[in-house]
Chain A
């Protein structure tokens, strides 16, 4: 996934500047603002490049996030719910994105459908604290995971297209 397109997309995501976690009260509000601005820009860019692939929203405190992501494979759209908590040690540690409906279908997952980010994303995140935010988590964490796992799961018949399922 480290193709030029991804690299370009990531380079266009604004970097964050407030080093603050959810236990910090006021500073966290500032960080939260940035956490919203960056994905907004990223989604705008994605739309402009006709590559819109996720939506995110959070609870009032910004400590729990949920949304949808979708992946196009053989011209069919596969959509999944995503969710994650902001850990108390954020942004030093990245959130663990979960796709609960895929829990148990792939070994590249931890308990509760948390996708495995250990090797391809965590060191990258650690090197970029606090400049990386949730938009980067999407672009460099979830994105590459979906690109690798979803085609594999489809080929194994572990996920089927919803409309095909219906008919």
Chain B
């Protein structure tokens, strides 16, 4: 099994090598031949970024940032390595922006193929349908800017074998082989992959940025995660930017998720903007920036790591961070019951305290941001083991009436949990 995988990887490496060689030869030929040849326009590698304002300098407008007093040392961008996980609607545009900015090295991770259904988003082109997203992206990006180094991995990071390799590349895949990448960007479309990135980065102490677009395509967010310092992805249930649409009016028939090139472009834009600010040290980097397209509302906030986070590596990172930490994180925040997003209602007799325990603490969030769901607090072992459990569940059944149930499930799903 492993040998086949290794061979596949080798084949991919060789294919990339071939592309690189072709491009080198092409650029060499282009340089030699007069400008009116039929070769595709490929420029040669530029050893040093120049600030010279001439039409032929691809970096002149970027280097002007220094003249304007925005960035102190723009050339430094060539020393950075960024890993982009998920090369879809947000990830591909993110990678393109970084490529055009002249980033040193990009690592691209995605297991998906380009499909015609992706054509409502930016970057990929119809003729690339069928190619793996990372491969197609590398082709395009290399032709845009041959100065950038690329490393692509076509696999699902959430499975055991791939995850180990993913961790290894994050911690060793920088420009200077053996060093950790400077930033990981999460541009995936599912919770599992986000949690996998979160687990890897907590373990490695790797700073990363999360991005997301809601499945109704009208809201999104970005979040900076510094393990131990700011809230990790497991510290609170996923945050969502309320879109102010009545969920009942959403027509979910026939689609699992909607997407818009606009929302994806906006989110990619604010993501890369914050990447540049973080790497080149200008302006302030947002810890959390939401985007509500319905109202053009951009809520921001900062969230500290949760001392009771489920991820043991997050807790460990918090301990490492503590010496520098002055302000103490507030203890358990009071539960908020006004917005009962899940329409939780009680079937059996329960006291307020029991209800509180069932809905769990909700972090103190600014207007416009909510959690996707709450997690019951105090998950104590109450003896409900695999061997001896049958009795305790029946009496405390909570019914969640999901407001956004698109499975035509008669909109009722039982939530069973044992209360102490």
Contact = CB atoms under 8 A, between A and B. Distances in A.
Given A15-B386, A126-B373, A127-B373, A89 B413 contact: no
B394 A144 contact: no
A123 B342 contact: yes
Contacts of A75: none
B327 interface: no
B400 A124 contact: yes
B4 interface: no
B195 A89 contact: yes
Q: Which 3 A-B pairs have the closest CB atoms?
A: A11-B393, A123-B373, A89-B195
B158 A89 contact: yes
Contacts of B310: 92, 129
B416 A148 contact: no
A101 interface: no
Nearest to B255: A107
B384 A15 contact: yes
B254 interface: yes
Interface string A86-108: 11110011001000000000011
A108 B191 contact: no
B390 A14 contact: yes
Interface of B: 112, 158-160, 163, 190-192, 195-196, 198-199, 215, 234, 237, 254-256, 310-311, 342, 360, 372-376, 379, 381, 384-390, 393-394, 397, 399-400, 402, 404-410, 412-418
A12 B414 CA distance: 14
B170 to A, nearest CB: 14
A111 interface: yes
Nearest to A131: B384
Given A2-B410, A17-B384, 20 more contacts: A2-B409, A6-B414, A17-B381, A17-B386, A34-B386, A37-B386, A61-B160, A85-B160, A86-B160, A88-B163, A92-B311, A111-B112, A119-B406, A123-B400, A123-B402, A126-B237, A127-B415, A129-B375, A131-B379, A140-B414
Contacts of A118: 215, 256
Contact of A120 (B190, B381, B384, B405): B405
B386 A16 contact: yes
